[in-house]
Structure 1
Amino acid sequence: MFFYLLFITFFKKEINLFIIFSFIFFIWRTFSSYYYSNGVLDLVNSSRILTLILLINITIKKYPKSTLRAISIVFSSYIILNLISYFIFPQGLYRVEGHQLAWLLGIENQFGFVLIPGTLLVIIYFWYEYKNVKWIPLTIILLTVTTLLKAWSATAIVAIFFVLISLFINLRKNIKPLYSFIRLSIIYIIIWFIVVRFNSVSFFESIITDFLGKDLTFSGRTRIWDSVFESISYSPWYGFGINSEVLGGIVTFFAAHNMILQVILDTGFIGLILFATCVIIAGVKLQKNKNSRISVMLLIGIFGILIGGLSESYRLNYIFLLLIMSYNIKYIQRD
């Protein structure tokens, strides 16, 4: 499938700047892992992401409605079936690493990886088709919120409420959307440095301790982040290979528990620059179409994932799905 789509992309001249930098990023990711992680390449997931990018880049231009409908159906199914499995099998469908309970969408802390972009993509399809949010997306929103509240993954809860409140603010009739790629990027960078780099979380104390029921170390995340920054200093440009971990306690190793830090830990600052370039390339398209409702919804979805990734190392699959859709925003906007 991958090689067929790659052939079509070149034969039909569907190659673009976003695809080029996405390939460079994942090639670098594989290269750094080959040399620094004992040959762990993660080729399956990397090829899966690149296949998704190529597929969406082709289909969304010729069949935007069908593409959005198919994506909506897939994610609606994920959300519904995961919640059913979550309630029917309280002890999990299987275990990860021998002790962590997991369901259709994995462990509880990883639910947001699918639920946040999935809910947003269901809403986008119905807005594209009907210019309104009907009962089906409202039901999906309810199921998503129910799942995350039951799982009580703190940053995922914050992320989904950011998405829902942002949609309410920006989808009002006769009012131009308030968000833009530049504004949200600046705000996110400031929050990231305050929370992750400087561990200055006193401003968020009431939210963290009273509402989310967490301590000011984000359940030990800040100690892990300190270990990650120390580890990064030993290989800042190249990283340590895919799925790298750090010593977060006396004998226990952890992932970075932050999406951006995990990118740096895995692929170094070279990988971060390449990843940021992909985000910026898509973001420029969104900035040029900042008054489009669907453009703003994609923007909200991207930053929803990044917010959820403040304390979890989400995989990159669905942020790249939103990014390739953002790059092709002119084919799906109807404003």
Structure 2
Amino acid sequence: MTIDLMLRSAREAAYRVLDTVVVWLEVDVFDPLNRRFPQADWKYVTLFALLLFPFFEPEGLRYAISPAVGKLYLVLRLAATVVIGLIYVFCARKDRFSLIAFAIAVLMFASTVVNEGNGRAWIYTQCFCDWSPLMAAVLLVAYARKEHMIELLWAIMIVTGVLSVCNTISVMGWPDGIAVGSREPTNFFGHKNASIDLILPSVGCSLLLDTSRKRRFSVRSATFLVIGFVQCVLTYSATSVVALVVFLALVAAVQFQRARSFVNGLSCLAAYLLATALLVWVKVQELLAPLIVGGLGKSVTFTGRTFVWDGVLSIMDSSHLLVGYGASLRFGLVFNDYLYNNAHNFILHVLVSGGLLGVVLYGALLLMAAVALYRHRHKYSTGVLVAVVGCFLVVGLMESLITVSWPLFLALAYYWGSSKGSMLDDCS
């Protein structure tokens, strides 16, 4: 009797502990005390997580341990891309958005072939690393949109959330980064500016999952957001800090249904294009010097970014204006006696890589996603997507957005309105 009582007590205590974890995570896939949460299919969550994690390589780990880690992730990324492609071909409905994303990846490879020929083999590997995330992300969301969007959100949140926690531990232990042979000290996930690629997906997916539970903001979402701010503040990435402040402002705005008529996909895209024109061509930053230098602690060149912007525009001659340089100029942009590995601006990086044709194709994706967000602007979950996409566009003013996080949310923005996840949004 005593042993049976002890076993029952131990089992009950274990269930209580698990239930506490469940309540904090708002987990839908495990319900030990029969709270009747809406269920997600754990098999698909696992599948999506396995397909996604090769695209989130912790570069600091590669530098700290061995280059073999990078080669392993490259092989896994290639395998994941092939599997996603097969799933799309045989199981997903084809549409303009996904086909355009595929066309962009093909264009970037073709442009690399034209410019590189039989030259450096590693350039083709770099081209794959740069542009396979766009294709893979869009094709995966295109497959999941009807029946498995909730599972995809869980997979994205789990992968990026775990990595975000690991990166925070790294940042708290070594705030100045770890000198491991790269040009600048690195954190667990890589350069300090890369943290945003973990923060936005983990917080954004958590908020979208909250809407399926008829709530606006959970403890889980708040925790991921605090973790993100800790990373950005301790390492001080000005771009990421500004982006997160904008994100909070947008999330606050979309809490009000009337505000969603103004804070929508089209307005965010228009604001981004205007900001790009003012920064790259008008040089408005020179008029904002007191704010940039005094408030953000940065120079009006944005740590040399204006030099590479001007340089990229200067090399777009008639022979490269249409299809660009592909990946042949990656790690080869030398301006003002400094080597840049990318254009440090979303539009300019697409331009130098794929020329005007690349800008038109990627512009079509942006416009289609913005129109989809505008069409469903009155839903709170759409407002959350507007906040995340708008935040990525802020980052795109200073970075090239050649990661998997950005196209994942661009595709979510386009497909969300017709997805099962959107239908579960009961928040007014």
TM-score (norm 2): 0.72
- SS at structure 1 position matched to 2:301: coil
Superposition pairs for residues 270-285 of structure 1, below 5 Å? Answer: 270-285=357-372
- Residue 308 of structure 1 corresponds to which residue in structure 2? 395
- SS at structure 2 position matched to 1:247: strand
Superposition pairs for residues 101-120 of structure 1, below 5 Å? Answer: 101-120=185-204
Call closer, same or farther: CA 1:5–1:187 in 2, change over 3 Å: closer
- SS at structure 1 position matched to 2:280: helix
Q: Distance in 1 between matches of 2:104 and 2:249?
A: 33
Equivalent pair of 1:257/1:312 in contact (CA under 8 Å): yes
- Residue 293 of structure 2 corresponds to which residue in structure 1? 209
Among residues 200, 207, 229, which one is paired with 1:123 in the alignment? 207
Equivalent pair of 1:240/1:268 in contact (CA under 8 Å): yes
Matched, 1:238 2:352: no
Among residues 66, 83, 103, which one is paired with 1:24 in the alignment? 103
Q: Distance in 2 between matches of 1:257 and 1:322?
A: 20
Equivalent pair of 1:195/1:201 in contact (CA under 8 Å): yes
- SS at structure 2 position matched to 1:26: helix
- Residue 278 of structure 2 corresponds to which residue in structure 1? 194
Q: RMSD of aligned C-alpha atoms?
A: 2.2
Among residues 46, 67, 72, which one is paired with 2:131 in the alignment? 46
Superposition pairs for residues 33-72 of structure 1, below 5 Å? Answer: 33-37=112-116, 38=119, 40-41=123-124, 42-72=127-157
Equivalent pair of 2:269/2:370 in contact (CA under 8 Å): no
Q: Distance in 2 between matches of 1:254 and 1:7?
A: 32
Call closer, same or farther: CA 1:76–1:130 in 2, change over 3 Å: farther
Aligned residues: 333
Higher Rg of the two aligned structures: 2
Matched, 1:296 2:383: yes
Shift, 1:126, TM fit: 1.9
Superposition pairs for residues 163-178 of structure 1, below 5 Å? Answer: 163-172=247-256, 175-177=258-260, 178=262
* Aligned residue identity for 1:196: V
Q: Distance in 1 between matches of 2:376 and 2:271?
A: 20
The Cα offsets for residues 236-259 of structure 1, whole Å up to 9 and x where unpaired, read as: 222112226422223544521112
- SS at structure 1 position matched to 2:351: helix
Call closer, same or farther: CA 1:253–1:163 in 2, change over 3 Å: closer
Q: Distance in 2 between matches of 1:13 and 1:108?
A: 36
TM-score (norm 1): 0.90
- Residue 311 of structure 2 corresponds to which residue in structure 1? 227
Equivalent pair of 1:68/1:125 in contact (CA under 8 Å): yes
Q: Distance in 1 between matches of 2:129 and 2:353?
A: 16
Q: Distance in 2 between matches of 1:75 and 1:84?
A: 14
The Cα offsets for residues 60-85 of structure 1, whole Å up to 9 and x where unpaired, read as: 32123222222222221121111101
Higher relative contact order (CA 8 A, sep 6+): 1
Shift, 1:272, TM fit: 1.1
Q: Distance in 1 between matches of 2:208 and 2:342?
A: 32
Shift, 1:31, TM fit: 0.7
Equivalent pair of 1:122/1:137 in contact (CA under 8 Å): yes
Equivalent pair of 2:382/2:413 in contact (CA under 8 Å): yes
Q: Distance in 1 between matches of 2:383 and 2:216?
A: 15
* Aligned residue identity for 1:307: V
